[in-house]
Structure 1
Amino acid sequence: MAGAFGFKGCQKIRGPQIRKLLEAKDFILFDCDGVIWHGETAITGAAKVVSSLIRHGKNVVFVTNNCTRPRENYVHKFYRLGFTDVMLEQIFSSSYCSALYLRDVVKVRGQVFVMGCDGMRRELEEAGISCVEEADEPGATIYDCALAPDVKAVLVGHDDKLTFLKLAKASCYLRDPDCLFLATDNDPWHPLSGGRILPGSGSLTAALEVSSGRKATVIGKPSRFMFECISSQFRGVDPAQCLMIGDRLEVDMLFGSNCGFDTMLTLTGVSQLEEAQEYKDSELTDKHRLVPDYVVDSIADFLSAFEEQEDQEEQSN
C-alpha cells in the first residue's frame, strides 16, 4: 500500500503535507493511550485537534484495545480531559467489539466465562450476554469448586484480579471443543511511570493457550474485526479514505495494514522512529507491514495544518 503522496515508510510530515493528507481522508481513526492521552493527562493539543477534525467534517473514531471500561465511561473520560465533541458512537473498544462478536457474529447461546475486569462484564451485559457469576467460597480450589454447565465461550482480557482458580476454570471450560476461545486483544504489556510495565491481555491469553492447548481468536487490533464493527455502524467506509493514527507498530500499524488504511505513527507513546526504520530495512517482508506510511512527533503537529487551512479559507471568502 502506498501513501497518499506515492511513497511508504517512516516519512516525517509537517504542515502542508499533513493538510494535504487530511484533505484526502474522510475517516480518521485514533488509538487512545499514547496518542490522545497518557493516563489522566491529555496529549498537549489533542483536544483541539479532535475538535478541528470534527468541525472540518471528518469522521473521527477511536479504536482502543483497552478493555477495562465500558464505552460510557470513555465518554466521561474524554469530557473530563477536554474532549467535549466526542460521542458514544465514535468509540470502539476491544470489549465493546467482543460483545458485538459474541452477540451478532457467533450468536452465542449460553454463558460466557470472563477472565477480565468488571468493565468487560458491563459491556457484555449491556449487549444482553450472560456472564458466569463468580461465587466461590473462600479457599475454594479447582478440585472442589462449582463449574457452570452451559459455558459456550471464554473471553480473556485485562484482569488485575487474576487468580490461579480463574485460569484453571477457564482451562476446564476450554476442554469442550465447542466452547469458543476469544481474547479482547493480544497486547503484551503497557507502560507505567518510572519504567515499570503492566502485563497486558496478551500475556494472560498466552498462559491460557498453553494450559488449554488452543489458540484464541483475537477481536481487537490488529484484527480486522474492529474495522468490520466500524463499517457496520458507519455507512460508506472506504479503506482508501481512512487514516489510522497510533503509537504501537505491532498493533496500530499492523491493524492499518491488515485493513488497507494509510497509517501514521505518533512518537508520544510506545514505538519510536528507530524501531520503524529497523522494520523498514528488514529483509523479512512481514516486518514491512509494521512500517507506518507517515510519522509525526505528536498529533499536535496537526494544528499548524489547520491554521494554514483556515487562513486559506479566510482568504477565499
Structure 2
Amino acid sequence: MAVSKCVKLTGALTQELLKSVDNVLFDCDGVLWHGDSAIAGASEVVKLLRKKNKRVFFVTNNSTKTQELYAQKLCKMGFEAVKEEVFGTAHCTALYLKQVACFNGGKVYLIGGKALSEELDKVGISYVGPGPDPVFGGMSDWASVPLDPDVKAVVVGFDEHFSYLKLTKALCYLKDPGCLFIGTNTDTKLPLEGGRAVPGTGCLIRAVETAVNRKAIIIGKPSKFIYDCVVSKYGVDPARTVMVGDRLDTDILLGSNCNLKTVLTLTGVTSLVEAQSCAASNCPEERRLAPDFYIDTIGDLLPALQG
C-alpha cells in the first residue's frame, strides 16, 4: 500500500516531524518572503529552529545573487543568516566547475549576470560573454562569430541581455562535444507580486538545448548537486533532513531525489489542488512530486516550536 502523501501538518504531527529532523532546508522566495517583504512569522520560525539546535540552510535556484547578497537580504528581513548557510545556483555552479577535472584551466562562455561573474571570480575561473551582445550583419556574420579558443564550458543562467547572437555563440562553442554545457536551473517563470511573472532561466536553457541538440547539466533544484554541496560542507544526514518549499517540480522533487522529508507551503507557486492531484496519482513520477506534508504558511510551524 502506498504511503500517505500531502498530509496537513498540525499539532502533534508537526512536533513529531520537528523531533525527527536536525536540518531544515528552506527555499526562499514564496516560502520565507514575497519580493522584499518577509512572510508573517518566517523569521521567528527560523530563530526558534536555531534555538532548538536545528541547522538551517537556504537553498535557492536564483542565480542573480551571490552568497553575500542573499545573506544581506536575509539579515535585512530579520533571519540572522551568514553567507555559508546560503546555497544558490551562482555559487554552486562555480563549485561544480572547480570539481570537474576536464575543465581545469579553461574559460567559460557565460550567459548570465553579475552574480555568476562574481562567483566565478571568487574561485579563479575566467569567463567571456557577460553584458549586452547585439546582433550585427547578416547570417554569414552570425555563423562566423569570433570564438575564444580557451572556452571549455558554456554556462547559462538568468540573463536579461539574452540575445540571438548569444544563442549563436553558444551553438558554435557547443559544437565541440568536449565543451561542457551547464545550466543553473530550469525554472520556467519567475512569479512577481500581484500575480505577474517573467520568463525564467529554464526558457533560456531550453533555447540553447534546442539549438545544440544537447541537454544541459543542471546545478539547481531538483538536481542533487545543489544538495550535495550542503552535504559536502556540513555532512547532513538525509534521514534527518527536511526540505521546505513552494514548488513541486523543484523543491519537492529535490527532496524526493535526495530521500529527504518534504513540506510544501502554499504561499508560493503550487496550489493545494495540484499537490493533492500528484499525491493521488497512480503514476510513480507524478507521486514523486507530491510532498509528504503541507502547511498554509510557514508561520503555521510556530505553535509547535513555541511549545
TM class by smaller structure: over 0.9
Aligned partners of 1:135 and 1:283: how far apart in 2?
A: 47
Within a 5 Å distance, the mapping from 1:1-317 to structure 2 comes to: 7-84=3-80, 86-106=81-101, 108=103, 109-133=105-129, 140=136, 142-143=142-143, 145-235=145-235, 237-308=236-307
Structure 1 residue 145: deviation in Å?
4.0
Q: Give the secondary-structure state (helix, strand or coil) at the position aligned to 1:290.
A: coil
> Would the aligned equivalents of 2:63 and 2:88 in 1 still touch at CA under 8 Å?
yes
Secondary structure class of the residue paired with 2:25: strand
Instruction: Give the CA deviation at 1:102.
Output: 0.3
Tell me which amino acid in the other structure corresponds to 1:131.
Y
Equivalent AA in structure 2 for residue 221 of structure 1:
K
1:260 & 1:48 partners in 2: Cα distance? Answer: 27
Q: Which amino acid aligns with 2:150?
A: D
Instruction: Please give the alpha-carbon distance, in whole angstroms, between the structure 2 residues aligned to 1:136 and 1:24.
Output: 49
Q: In the TM superposition, what is the alpha-carbon distance from 1:139 to its structure 2 partner?
A: 5.7
Instruction: Give CA deviations for 1:228-260 in whole Å, capped at 9, x if unaligned.
Output: 11111003x211100000000111110000000
**For the residues of structure 1 that align with 2:51 and 2:181, how far apart are their CA atoms?**
41
The one-letter code sitting in structure 2 at the alignment partner of 1:202 is G
Give the SS at the match of 1:69. Answer: coil
Q: Is the 8 A contact 1:244 1:261 kept in 2?
A: yes
The answer on whether the counterparts of 1:136 and 1:145 sit within 8 Å (CA) in structure 2 is no
> Which runs of 5 or more structure 1 residues have no equivalent in the other structure?
309-317
- Whether contact under 8 Å (1:8, 1:294) holds in the other structure is no
> 1 CA distance for matches of 2:262 and 2:63?
23
With 190-199 and 209-218 compared, the bigger mean Cα shift is at 190-199
Secondary structure class of the residue paired with 2:288: helix
**1: distance between equivalents of 2:193 and 2:304?**
32
- Structure 1 residue 39, shift from structure 2 partner: 1.0
Task: Tell me, in whole angstroms, the C-alpha distance in 2 between the residues paired with 1:94 and 1:269.
Answer: 20
Judged with a 3 Å threshold, the aligned counterparts in structure 2 of structure 1 residues 59 and 162 are, in CA distance, closer, same or farther, namely same
Aligned residues of 2:33 and 2:39 also touching (Cα < 8 A): yes
Q: Residues 177 and 150 (structure 1 numbering): CA distance in 2 closer, same or farther, change over 3 Å?
A: same
Q: In 1, are the aligned partners of 2:143 and 2:168 still within 8 Å (CA)?
A: no
Give the letter for the 1:252 counterpart.
D
Q: Secondary structure at the match of 1:264?
A: strand
Contact 2:153 2:180 in 1 (8 A): yes
Letter matched to residue 157 of structure 2: G
Unaligned runs of 5+ in 2: none
- Tell me the alpha carbon deviations over residues 275-296 of structure 1, each in whole angstroms, 9 at most, x when there is no partner: 0111122222210000100000
Question: TM (normalized to structure 1)?
Answer: 0.91
Structure 1 residue 306 displacement after superposition: 1.5
